[in-house]
Chains A and B, each alone.
Chain A
C-alpha cells in the first residue's frame, strides 16, 4: 500500500478544498490514507457529485404519469405502453474529446450505452450534439478540423461496431468552442417493463461480481479532469483518456441482458466515471448495505497496480453486478459463453461501508452513504449572467436576399451534415423510420407497433444573450420538432454545458438556464428524467457560451413518416403560425446576423409558451390526420432556409408573403412557433388551426425546380433548387478538407 503522506499539497492536487478535507476527516473519524483521498476526490468531483449544480437541479420537474424512473439511476425510464418501457439519457464527453478526439468521443458513446443496458434495456438509438470551433478564418481552424474529424470517426467507430443506429443530432460551429468542443451523446433503449434492472446492491452475503474488460492504468482521474478548466498543460492529460473497445461492449451487452434473464442478478451498474469506486459505493449506498472487495481478485491488465490505481481506473467496458448467493454459476455460465471474464471480487455486507482489501489487508474503509450521497453542496454566488454584447447592432447594410440565402445554406451551422451522418450506421436494427435530416428521428418499436421520436436541441448563442429564454427556446424547439412529425412529447433529458461555476457571472448563466428549462419542461409536461452537468468548459480563461442541450422523446403510432420535402407540384403551401413578429433587438441572435452581418446583439427570439403549445397541438393533429404531405418546423435561418430545405427533394414553391417587415427580417428572423407544410386539404388544415387559435395563411403553391418568394406581390428572390442544394450539400465537405 502506498505510504504517500497526506500533505496540503497532495490534497490540493486532488482538487479537494480544506473545508472538504475537514468533512472527510469527520466522516472517517481520522485522516484518510492516500487511496481514500483518491476515492473521495473522484466521488466528490464536480463531475460525479454535481456539487455546484445540485441545489438548482432540484428545480427541474422530474415526475409525470409515464415516468417509471427519474433522476438518480443510470438512466431515466418512461412507460411507452404495451408492457414496454424506454430508458434514455444524455451525457457529455467534452474534456476527453478535446484531448484525444477519436477515443474521447468513442468512449463517450460507450459510456452512455452502458448506462442504458445497465438498466436492462437494449440500446436502439443514439444521437449526438456536437459543438466545434470554426473550421475557417481562425488560426485554430486546422486543429478544429482535426477535432471534428476525430470526434465523428470515434462516434462512428463505436456506434457502428456496437450495432446501434446513430439517427440524428446537431452540429454547430462557434469560436467559443475553439479550445473546448462539446460532445454530448444521447442514447435510448427499450425493454419489457418487468425486465428493468436497478443499480442497487442487496442481500447480505451475496457475491459481488466483476465482468468485462480488465482494469488498467487508463483514465485515472478522468472524472477530476472533467471538473477543471483547461490549461496549457492539459495535453499532458492524454493518458487520462480511456481507450474504447466496441466489440467488448457488444459482448458485454449481450451477456448482461442474457444474465439478467436468468433471474440470478440482484443489481448491476456499469463502471463509468470513477470506475470501481463509483460502482461499488453507489450500489451499496442505494441498497443501504456495505460492500467489501478484494483487489487481488480484480482482473488486471498490468502488474503492480496500487489500490489507488485500481480503484480510480476508468478502463472501459466493465460492469459490476450482485448475484443471488448460490446462483453465481448461472451468471458465470452466461459470461463464459460470451468469452468474457466474470470474477467474484467481494460480498455484500451489513455495515454500510465500502471496504477495500488488498492481499487481505484493508486499504480503504469508507461509509458508502456519506461517500456517495453526502458530497459537499455549494450554493455558489451568482450575479448577472455574463454577456459582453450590445443590445443594438452596429450600422449594417443587407445584401440582396438571393445571395444571403445561398450564403446561409453554405454556412457551417445550416449546411447539410451529410458528411457527418453518412459515416454513422443509422439503419442497423431495421427500425429507423426517420433518420438524420428529419425534424425528429423516429425509431419504431417492433414489439409494440408504436414508435419513439426524439430530438436534441440547444442554442448557445440564444443562451448567451439570455440563458433563461435560450433554455426555454431549446425546450420549445425540441417539442416542436417532435410535434411536427406527429409525436406527443413525453419526457426529457438534459446536458448542461457551462464554464467555471466559481465565477458568479457563469454561475448565473447556469442558474437561469436551469430555471428556464424547468419552467418550459413543466409547461410542456416533459419531466426531466436524468442528465448530466459539464462545468469548467473553459480554456485559458475563455469560457464557452452557456450551452444547455435538451433531448426530448415523444410517442406516436408507427406510420409512414410525413417528411419535410414537398412531394408534388400544385399543392398549397401553408405557413402555420404565420409570418411571426420580430423587431431589430430580436434579430441580433439569428443566423443571418451571425453569417451575413457577422454580428451578435440583442436578445433571442420572443417565445410565447401558450401559443407554442397551441401550434404544436395543431400540427400534431394535422399530421396525424394525414392532411400534410410535408411538414417542417422553422428554426435556425428562419422561413427562407426552411423553404429551401423543403425543396431539396426537387419540388419548390412560389410564395407571396403579406407583411410589412423589412425583407431580410421577414425571410430570416427566427421567431418560433411556426411550421411550413404542404397540403391538398387547405380547408381542413385551416379548420384545425383555427380550432387551436393559430393562424394558417396559405402563402403559396408548390412548383417544379425553383423557389420564388415575393412580399405583397413584389418579387424578393428566385432561386433554382439545384443551385441552392449544391451550396447546401457541398459546404461541409469543402470546409473540412
Chain B
C-alpha cells in the first residue's frame, strides 16, 4: 500500500504520520508538498495535524485553497481513501469534503491528553479492523476540536452510520461526542484524535494502529 502525506506550510505532524505509515506499518510513503497539483500513484492520502498557514484565520480556511486540494478532491471523488487527522480534519471540513465545523474547545483551552474512543461503525476502510465492544486509547492535541453541526446533519450522520469514533468522556464539547466522521461514500474520514501518536507501546498506547490496520486490510480486500 502506498501512502501520501500532504505537507502544508505549518503542518507539524506530517512526520508522525509518515513514520507510522513507513516505519511502523512498513508501507511505502511519501511527503507531498502543498503546491503539487497531482498526487501520483497512491492508495491513501493523509492530511496531517499542525497549523496549516498558521491557522490565524479559521483553522483550515486557507489550506483549502492550496493547489494540492484540487487533486485531493479529485482523488476522493474517484474513490481514493483520504484521512484527515486533527488539522487535516479541519481542512477537510473547510474544503467541503466532510460536513459540519470544528470550533473552539468548550473550555476555550488547548488540550493535550489521552482519551478513550469507541468506534461508531466498523463499516468503513478506516475502522473495519476495530471492535465496537471495546474502547481505544488515543491522544488528542487541539484547541479547536469541538465538532459542531446542525441537528439535521447530526441526524444524517447517525442514520447513515457515518460516525467513525465517539469520545467516552467528552473532552471538548463535541456534539453527540463525535470524534471522527465519514463522508457519504465512506472513503473520506476526519478525526481529531491522533492515531499516529499511539502506535507503539513506547508511546503509552498502540491502540491507534487500528486505523492503519483497517486501511491495510481494506486494501487487501479491495
Contacts and interface: CB of A to CB of B under 8 A. Distances in A.
A353 interface: no
Nearest to A419: B109
B16 A430 contact: yes
Contacts of A422: 109-113
Nearest to B13: A428
A195 interface: no
Size bin of chain A's contact surface: 20 to 34
B110 A425 contact: yes
Interface residues of B, number: 31
Interface in B1-55: 9-10, 12-13, 15-16, 19-20, 23, 49-51, 53-55
Contacts of B109: 153, 422-423
A475 B201 CA distance: 32
Contacts of B10: 161, 247, 250-251
A162 B110 CA distance: 14
Nearest to B52: A247
B143 to A, nearest CB: 8
Interface string A587-629: 0000000000000000000000000000000000000000000
A134 interface: no
Given A156-B110, A425-B141, A245 B202 contact: no
Contacts of A481: none
Interface in A379-409: none
Contacts of B23: 446
Contacts of B196: 430
B112 A423 contact: yes
A160 B86 CA distance: 13
A699 B10 CA distance: 52
B20 A430 contact: yes
Residue among B53, B112, B143 facing the most chain A CB atoms (10 A cut-off):
B112
A429 B56 contact: no
Given A160-B141, A161-B10, A433-B202, A423 B51 contact: no
B120 interface: no
Nearest to B196: A430
B88 interface: no
A425 B54 contact: no
Residue among B55, B110, B143, B199 facing the most chain A CB atoms (10 A cut-off):
B110
Given A156-B110, A251-B9, A446-B19, A428 B202 contact: no
Contact of A427 (B9, B20, B197): B197
A162 B139 CA distance: 19
B166 interface: no
B162 interface: no
Contact of B9 (A156, A339, A430): A339
A435 to B, nearest CB: 9
Interface in A418-465: 421-430, 432-433, 444, 446
B111 A423 contact: yes
Residue among A153, A250, A421 facing the most chain B CB atoms (10 A cut-off):
A250
Contacts of B20: 430
A558 B12 contact: no
Interface in A513-558: 558
A287 interface: no
A248 B203 CA distance: 29
Nearest to A430: B16
A421 B114 CA distance: 13
A672 interface: no
Interface in B44-74: 49-51, 53-56
Contacts of B112: 421-427
Contact of A430 (B113, B143, B203): B203
Nearest to B15: A429
A161 B111 contact: no
Nearest to A163: B12
9 A-B pairs with least C-beta separation: A163-B12, A247-B54, A430-B16, A161-B51, A425-B141, A423-B110, A425-B112, A430-B197, A427-B197
Interface of A: 153, 156, 160-163, 245-248, 250-251, 338-339, 421-430, 432-433, 444, 446, 558, 560
22 contacts: A153-B109, A160-B110, A160-B141, A161-B55, A163-B12, A247-B53, A250-B12, A250-B51, A338-B9, A421-B112, A422-B111, A423-B109, A423-B110, A423-B112, A424-B110, A425-B141, A427-B141, A428-B141, A430-B13, A430-B15, A432-B203, A560-B202
Given A428-B12, A428-B141, 6 more contacts: A247-B10, A339-B9, A422-B113, A427-B139, A444-B202, A446-B23
Interface of B: 9-10, 12-13, 15-16, 19-20, 23, 49-51, 53-56, 109-113, 139, 141, 143, 194, 196-197, 199, 201-203
